[in-house]
Each structure stands twice: as structure tokens, then as C-alpha cells.
């Protein structure tokens, strides 16, 4: 999982680079990592120290250096296959580097890489039967989903981690005494990772509970560095929480969190020298001279001009996006206290533009904090440009922003409720797994279409009621699919052949759309040769694009599998509160427009008709399979 290492202290004595125990060439500025070749000469602890050092270095490296670091870690994994005790830890680090955001990444390659490693890590965790390792696997899966997908899709894995780690009270009875301290340190590290997940989800209350436990464990069993990292992440949690509460106009609650952040920052500052400069003979730099989040927390507690010199000096030391936002907001508020509102606005606008990465690109940082930055910029613009004089009625834009914030707060509450519900569900499964599994099998059969294995009409009705009543599912799209040419298959071949076609097309839809595993769409059999796709958190144009891919995938099926059957698809929006039957009726109307256009296409309700796809040129593979089928029938 991503770590939040406060800094890298001065290096101690190191062996020459040409010795087996010499430092990593890549970290010294060389073109590549050669640690894999040296691994046979190193102990497990030395290999892990190199990999951990590479993870810290990776977070500040450029894209080319990051690619070389990944290659080096992959080579280390291969070189240590015969050392099973190392594999889980090396896999964790190799997964963690891919989780670090990188705008130049090839997303598809990164997803394939991390999914393969997560699968291997999960198998190792199950084989060990270690609850901490199983919880860590769930944390890593949740981080993967948020890095490459949607936050709400991470709720299930987050709930698994909360349940698994929440029930861990101590190490296994058969654990050797010399391994107990390491077990607790792994627990603290995993809890710290769960805090990061919950922060990304905006679940600050749950993150607070987990953070307290992580700090308690590290205070007893952790090194000074591990204790410092837990405290710094607790500062980040409290600052993020305070800024979120401010957006919801909960000023008193926000002030309490700012006080807590400052108190925790002082505790972290006291650990700074023991953790980063142990045994220093000269006075090392103070924490407020090196750590941006400590300086930001102290300044946000009481913004004042005397903080500005400290904060300005820290701007070059803020490397993480959320730290940069916290530091920027703290600096701007101290500038306002010094009657420098123009400078404060210029500072935050430059920060916002830098984090957005240019026109047309979305934020590369945490949405909770990024929205806090936008709010701060808007407030300063009103002050600097005189858009809202004191005592004036709020503008329409201001009232609109306030209404949006209220809606976002309601969505946040819904997400918290869903997360708590998932957590309770997994807790019951763990406690009553045998009884529930039997009941679950019966229930699953009642909600499944026996021919295709897809959810049936009853399951569809339940899902439609859920997505049209939940703000967390918005925007939502619903598609109705009818098969083109299916009647001819039944009439000219047989109903058994028709059943085969239905199964093949159901399988194609299931694999093409985001269903199963970490996906969120539902493909259900509606009856006969009709299917329905429920697509929560999907705007109508996005749904049309996804369904077009499904149409193309079915059209590309060999003739001897699909018998030339294609899809006519109608898709409509399903806003919160709508009658599901009305949304289906709109999709049905759009589907008949697709039929009239010649089929093999998608039509969105309220969107212009797509050009007929009936006469699209078939793929070469399909031409060959049609020719073979025609020769056999002739």
C-alpha cells in the first residue's frame, strides 16, 4: 500500500557499489536496479530493506525511474522464488509501487500487472491463514479499485478488511515468541493502510477509530519511524476531516479537529529526531523545518502572519498531493491574516492548476481535499474581486454551491451507511458462515435464471428498486437488449440451438460489461430473448459507449456459435426516485428505435439515433466462420 514516509534521513556508512551488499545502483543514480543478481548473497532482511528503500525512492522518482524500479522488484521476486518467507512481503511492495499515481502509466498494463500480483498475494494469504495478511489483501484490493476504478466499488473489500482486522485481538498461539513483535508491526502497518482507504472514501469517523488502534499498537511494538508514520497519517486524517466539516458548514466540529491535528502534530514533532536523526551529534533540523504536514497543522489551528516564513520554507518539501493542498490552504489563510488576500488567491490558483495537470484533465489528488481547495479559491475570489460584499445576500452561484455541498454530504452519509452494512454482513458471515452459506445457496438459486446463469426477473426487480432509491447509484442508466434474428434460429434450427445461442450471448455480455468481481453492472435475463443491463454510477453517454462495445463483441462471435444473431439495444437514464417501470419503458422505446434502424446498434433515450449498424462490414474471422457454416449446410 502507499506509504507516507516523512523524509529520508542522511545515509549511514554503505558498502561499495561493486560488493554484493552494496547499495542499489538505481537509487544511486544508475540506469537500472541490479539487486536481483545480488539477492542470493543477501539475507531476507537485507533483501526487504532494499525493496523498502526502493518503495520510498519510487514515490519521488520520475516515470522512467519508476519503470526501472518495477522491473527491479519483479526480478527480485523471480530471484527469490525459493525463499517463500520473502514472497508475501516482496509482493506487497511490488503491488504498492503500482498503486502510486503516475499520469504516464499505461492504465491497461498497470491493471493487468497489479491484478496478477494481487491474485498471487491473496493465495499466499489464504495459504498462511494469517488474519492480518488476509486483511492486508483486502486493503490492497480496495486501494487497487480506487486507483483504477470507482471508490464505491471498493466498499466490499474495505468492509472485509474492517471485519477481518477488527476481530484480530492478538497473534496466533503457535507463533514463536521472537516473531510476535514483527506480527504486531505488520498489524499496525495494515491498519495504517486501512486508514488511507477510509480517507479516500471520505469515511473519516471509521478512519479515526482505525487510526487510534494503529497508533496504540505502534506505540507498544513499533520502531520510532513506524510510530512517527502513524502519527503523521493521523495528522493528515484530522486535517482532511476538519476541511470536510468546513465544507458542510460545521465550523465548531471543524475547529475541534484542527485542535486535534495540532496536538498530534506536536507529538509527531517530538518523535522526529529519534526517528530520522538517531544518534545525531549536532542539532538536526526541527520537524517544522522539514515536514510540511506538521507545519500546516500547526498553522491551521491558529492562522497568523508569524507562520508565513515557516510555511514558505516548507513548500519545496511537500511531495504528496494532499500535503501540498493542506500546506497551500494553511499558507493562504495566514496570508489573509496578514491582509494579503491577492497573494493568497494567486498561490492557490497556481496550486490548483498544477494539480489538475492542465486543461481538460481531472484532479490527480484526493477528491475530498481537492474540493476543499476549490472551495478556498472560490471564497478568496469573492473577497479579492468584491463579488460578495459584506452583508449582501448570497448570489445564485453561492446558493447553488451550498445546495451541492448538502447533496454531497448526503451522498457521504449514504456511503458510510453502505460501508457499515457491508461490514455487518461480513461479520455475520464470519460468525455464522456454515448456516448462512446453506441459506445463501438456496437464495441464489431463487434469484438465478437456470438457462443462462444470469440474475432473473426477481433479482432484477430488487436491483432496480435499490438503484432508483439510492443517491450513491446516481447517475444510473438502464438498457433493454433484444436479439436480432433469434426467431429464425429457433425456427430453422431448433429450440436447443436457440438455448445455446442465449447462453453464449449471456456469457459475452457478462464478460464485456462490468459485471462480477469488483464490477458493478448487472446483466439480467428479462424473459425470452430479452436482457436488461443495470448500470449504476454511469452517465447515459458512457453507458452508450459501453453497450456499443457489447454490440460489437456479440457481432464478432463466430457464426457457428451465435448463428448470426446481433443485438438491438435501447438505453435510458434512471434518476433517483423514478418508477423502475417508467425507466424500462423508456429503454424499451429506444430499443425499438434501434430495431427500426436495422438492428446491431445502440440508441439512447433522448439522444440522436445511431446510424444503422446492420450492414457493418463483418470481421474477417466472422466471414470465414459464416462461409464454413454455409458450406456445411450446403
Give the separation between CA 502 and CA 525, rounded to whole angstroms.
Answer: 10
Give the separation between CA 326 and CA 207, rounded to whole angstroms.
Answer: 18
Residue in 161, 157, 174, 175 with CA at minimum distance from that of residue 131? 161
Note the pLDDT tens digit of each residue in 184-240: 999 999 999 999 999 888 899 999 999 999 999 999 999 999 999 999 999 999 999
Determine the straight-line distance between the first and last CA of the chain, rounded to whole angstroms: 61
Task: Give counts: helices (H), strands (E), the chain.
Answer: 26, 5
- Give φ, ψ of 604 to 5 degrees: -95, 135
Conformation bin of residue 574: beta by default, left when phi > 0, alpha when psi is -120 to 50: beta
Of 97-106, 506-515, 543-552, where does mean pLDDT reach its minimum? 97-106
pLDDT at 479: 96
Side by side, the strands of the sheet bearing 522-527 are 522-527, 530-535, 477-484, 566-573, 601-604
Question: Residue 262: is its pLDDT beyond 50?
Answer: yes
Residue in 542, 577, 564 with CA at minimum distance from that of residue 614? 564
Question: Residue 331: is its pLDDT beyond 90?
Answer: yes
DSSP 149-191: S-GGGGHHHHHHHHHHHHT--S--TTS-GGGHHHHHHHHHHHH
pLDDT at 495: 87
Distances (CA, A) of 477 to 23, 538, 550: 54, 6, 15
CA angle 56, 282, 231 (to 5 degrees): 40
For residues 240 and 322, is the Cβ–Cβ distance under 8 A?
yes
Note the pLDDT tens digit of each residue in 442-483: 555 677 888 888 889 988 998 898 888 888 788 899 999 999
- Report the half-sphere exposure of 214 (CA within 13 A, side-chain side): 29
Mean pLDDT rounded to a whole number for the chain: 83
Of 405-414, 473-482, 516-525, 609-618, where does mean pLDDT reach its minimum? 609-618
Give the separation between CA 154 and CA 141, rounded to whole angstroms.
Answer: 8
Question: Residue 2: is its pLDDT beyond 80?
Answer: no
How many CB atoms lie under 10 A from the CB of residue 2? 16
pLDDT at 622: 45
Domain 455-633 fold: Alpha-Beta Plaits (3.30.70)
- What is the average pLDDT across 361-368? 50
Instruction: List the domain boundaries for the chain.
Output: 224-387, 455-633
Question: With bands split at pLDDT 50, 70 and 90, how would you rate the model's confidence at 433?
Answer: low
Q: Where is mean pLDDT largest: 48-57, 309-318, 350-359? A: 309-318
Question: Residue 19: is its pLDDT beyond 80?
Answer: no
Q: Where is mean pLDDT largest: 117-131, 141-155, 250-264? A: 250-264
- What is the average pLDDT across 503-531? 81
Residue in 180, 382, 503, 365 with CA at minimum distance from that of residue 511? 503
- What is the average pLDDT across 258-283? 90
Where is pLDDT greater, at 12 or 95?
95
Give the separation between CA 365 and CA 356, rounded to whole angstroms.
Answer: 8
Where is pLDDT greater, at 623 or 446?
446
For residues 140 and 197, is the Cβ–Cβ distance under 8 A?
no
pLDDT at 634: 46
For residues 78 and 101, is the Cβ–Cβ distance under 8 A?
no
Question: Residue 553: is its pLDDT beyond 70?
Answer: yes
pLDDT at 440: 57
Question: Residue 597: is its pLDDT beyond 50?
Answer: yes
CA angle 126, 129, 132 (to 5 degrees): 100
Q: Record the cell numbers describing residue 513, joined without a space.
A: 460489461
Amino acid at each position: 500500500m502507499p506509504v507516507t514516509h516523512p523524509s529520508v534521513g542522511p545515509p549511514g556508512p554503505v558498502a561499495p557499489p561493486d560488493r554484493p551488499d552494496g547499495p542499489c545502483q538505481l537509487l544511486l543514480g544508475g540506469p537500472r536496479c541490479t539487486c536481483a543478481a545480488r539477492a542470493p548473497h543477501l539475507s531476507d532482511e537485507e533483501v526487504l530493506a532494499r525493496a523498502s528503500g526502493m518503495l520510498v525512492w519510487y514515490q519521488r522518482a520520475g516515470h522512467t525511474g519508476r519503470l526501472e524500479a518495477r522491473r527491479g522488484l519483479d526480478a527480485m521476486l523471480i530471484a527469490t522464488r525459493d525463499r517463500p518467507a520473502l514472497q508475501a512481503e516482496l509482493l506487497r511492495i511490488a503491488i504498492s509501487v503500482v498503486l502510486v499515481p503516475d499520469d504516464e502509466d499505461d492504465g491497461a498494463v498497470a491493471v493487468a500487472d497489479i491484478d496478477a500480483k494481487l491474485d498471487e498475494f491473496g493465495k499466499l494469504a489464504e495459504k498462511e491463514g494469517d488474519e492480518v495478511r488476509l486483511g492486508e489483501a483486502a486493503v490492497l484490493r480496495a486501494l487497487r479499485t480506487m486507483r483504477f476504478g470507482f471508490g464505491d466499488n471498493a466498499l466490499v473489500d474495505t468492509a472485509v478488511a474492517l471485519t477481518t482486522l477488527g476481530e484480530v485481538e492478538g497473534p496466533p498461539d503457535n507463533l514463536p515468541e521472537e516473531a510476535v513483535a514483527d506480527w504486531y508491526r505488520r498489524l499496525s502497518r495494515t491498519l495504517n493502510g486501512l486508514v488511507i482507504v477510509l480517507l479516500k472514501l471520505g469515511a473519516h469517523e471509521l478512519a479515526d477509530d482505525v487510526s487510534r488502534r494503529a497508533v496504540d499498537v505502534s506505540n507498544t511494538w513499533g520502531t520510532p519511524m513506524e510510530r512517527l508514520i502513524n502519527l503523521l497519517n493521523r495528522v493528515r486524517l484530522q486535517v482532511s476531516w476538519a476541511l470536510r466539516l468546513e465544507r458542510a458548514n460545521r465550523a465548531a466540529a471543524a475547529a475541534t479537529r484542527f485542535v486535534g491535528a495540532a496536538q498530534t502534530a506536536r507529538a509527531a514533532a517530538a518523535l522526529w529526531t529519534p526517528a530520522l536523526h538517531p544518534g545525531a551529534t549536532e542539532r538536526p533540523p526541527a520537524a517544522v523545518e522539514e515536514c510540511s504536514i506538521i507545519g500546516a497543522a500547526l498553522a491551521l489551528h491558529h492562522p497568523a502572519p508569524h507562520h508565513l516564513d515557516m510555511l514558505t520554507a516548507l513548500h519545496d518539501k511537500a511531495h504528496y498531493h494532499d500535503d501540498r493542498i493542506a500546506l497551500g490552504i494553511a499558507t493562504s489563510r495566514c496570508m489573509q491574516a496578514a491582509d494579503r488576500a491577492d497573494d493568497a488567491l494567486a498561490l492557490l490558483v497556481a496550486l490548483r492548476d498544477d494539480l489538475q495537470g492542465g486543461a481538460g484533465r481531472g484532479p490527480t489528488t484526493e477528491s475530498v481535499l481537492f474540493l476543499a481547495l476549490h472551495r478556498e479559491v472560490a471564497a478568496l475570489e469573492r473577497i479579492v474581486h468584491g463579488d460578495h460584499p459584506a452583508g449582501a445576500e448570497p448570489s445564485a452561484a453561492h446558493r447553488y454551491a451550498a445546495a451541492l455541498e448538502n447533496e454531497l454530504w448526503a451522498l457521504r452519509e449514504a456511503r458510510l451507511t453502505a460501508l457499515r452494512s457491508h461490514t455487518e454482513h461480513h461479520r455475520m458471515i464470519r460468525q455464522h458462515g456454515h448456516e448462512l452459506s446453506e441459506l445463501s445457496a438456496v437464495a441464489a438459486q431463487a434469484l438465478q435464471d437456470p438457462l443462462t446463469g444470469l440474475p432473473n426477473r426477481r433479482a432484477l426487480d430488487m436491483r432496480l428498486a435499490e438503484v432508483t432509491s439510492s443517491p450513491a447509484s446516481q447517475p444510473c442508466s438502464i438498457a433493454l437488449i433484444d436479439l436480432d434474428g433469434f426467431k429464425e434460429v429457433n425456427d430453422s434450427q431448433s429450440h436447443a440451438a436457440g438455448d445455446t445461442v442465449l447462453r453464449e450471448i449471456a456469457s459475452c455480455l457478462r464478460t464485456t460489461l462490468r459485471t462480477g468481481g469488483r464490477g458493478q453492472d448487472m446483466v439480467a435475463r428479462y424473459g425470452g430473448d430479452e436482457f436488461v443491463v443495470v448500470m449504476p454510477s454511469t452517465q447515459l453517454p458512457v453507458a452508450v459507449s459501453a453497450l456499443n462495445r457489447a454490440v460489437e463483441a456479440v457481432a464478432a462471435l463466430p457464426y457457428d456459435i451465435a448463428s448470426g444473431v446481433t443485438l438491438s439495444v435501447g438505453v435510458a437514464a434512471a434518476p433517483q426516485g423514478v418508477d423502475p417501470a417508467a425507466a424500462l419503458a423508456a429503454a424499451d422505446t429506444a430499443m425499438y428505435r434501434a430495431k427500426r434502424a436495422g438492428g446491431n446498434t445502440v440508441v439512447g433515450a433522448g439522444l440522436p439515433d445511431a446510424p444503422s449498424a446492420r450492414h457493418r462490414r463483418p470481421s474477417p474471422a466472422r466471414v470465414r466462420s459464416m462461409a464454413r457454416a454455409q458450406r456445411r449446410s450446403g
